[in-house]
């Protein structure tokens, strides 16, 4: 398992390709996701050991320069984050539902990692920018108190960057609101 992930999110698709090339050449890392995202942005998400991810993201930020919208490095990423990003997480029983919404893909992944580390919750999905104007959101479930603690912790990460759109906790959600995004 990779011990760290990092991302560079750019406002330019062309620069995004250049960033992807630079991060791969800078150190021994693997691409997790490298693609265009709404609205005309590009994301490069990589994984590897902490030092390699640090070196690669530093190179990507340098190449991305003025087009970098957001970035992060998360050492010791929680193992539940990858399946939630890829949509491969097993759908848990929905108890309380927590939703954290951010303006960037990067901020939402950071929030998801912080949330799942803060309380006993299960990640349901991490939706990254497609068909939602470049924003992202994470959904999670568990007991009401745990979901509240996780949402507070995850949203605090986004709020520090000034990128929080909204956060909610729904104690007993109706099944009808559980749609294809969750």
Give the integer Cα–Cα distance in Å for 33 and 161: 23
CATH fold, domain 4-75, is: Alpha-Beta Plaits (3.30.70)
Domain residues of the chain, as ranges?
A: 4-75, 81-177
Q: Does domain 81-177 have CATH number 3.40.50.1220?
A: no
Instruction: Indicate if 81-177 has the same CATH topology as 4-75.
Output: yes
Query: Could you tell me the CA-to-CA distances from 95 to 30, 147, 170 in Å, in that order?
Result: 35, 9, 9
Question: Which helix (H) or strand (E) is 150 found in, with range?
Answer: helix 144-161
Give 49's pLDDT tier (boundaries 50, 70, 90). Answer: very high
Per-residue pLDDT tens digits for 139-166: 999 999 999 999 999 999 999 999 999 9
How much is the CA Rg of the chain, to the nearest whole Å?
Answer: 16
> Distance from first CA to last CA of the chain, Å, rounded?
26
| Contact yes or no for 33/85 (Cβ under 8 A) | yes
Q: 179: exposed, middle or buried (C-beta count within 10 Å: 0-12, 13-18, 19+)?
A: exposed
Give 100's pLDDT tier (boundaries 50, 70, 90). Answer: very high
Per-residue pLDDT tens digits for 111-146: 999 999 999 999 988 888 777 777 889 999 999 999
Q: Please give the model's pTM, rounded to 2 decimal places.
A: 0.82
- Give the pLDDT confidence score for residue 11 in this predicted structure: 95
Q: Which two tokens stand for residue 98?
A: 């927590």
Give 1's pLDDT tier (boundaries 50, 70, 90). Answer: very low
Mean pLDDT across the stretch 3-24?
A: 95
């Amino acid at each position: 398992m990779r011990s760290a992930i990092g991302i560079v999110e750019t406002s330019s698709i062309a620069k995004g390709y250049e960033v992807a090339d630079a991060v791969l050449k800078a150190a021994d890392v693997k691409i997790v996701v490298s693609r265009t995202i709404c609205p005309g942005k590009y994301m490069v998400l990589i994984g590897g050991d902490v030092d390699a991810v640090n070196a690669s993201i530093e190179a990507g930020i340098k190449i991305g320069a003025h087009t970098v919208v957001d970035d992060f490095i998360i050492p010791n990423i929680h193992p539940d984050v990858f399946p939630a990003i890829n949509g491969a997480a097993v759908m848990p029983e929905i108890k309380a539902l927590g939703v954290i919404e951010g303006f960037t893909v990067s901020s939402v992944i950071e929030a998801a990692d912080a949330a799942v580390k803060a309380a006993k919750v299960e990640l349901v999905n991490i939706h990254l920018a497609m068909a939602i104007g470049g924003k992202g959101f994470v959904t999670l479930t568990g007991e009401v108190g745990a979901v509240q603690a996780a949402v507070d912790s995850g949203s605090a990460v986004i709020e520090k960057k000034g990128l929080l759109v909204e956060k909610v906790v729904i104690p007993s959600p109706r099944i009808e609101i559980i749609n294809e995004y969750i």
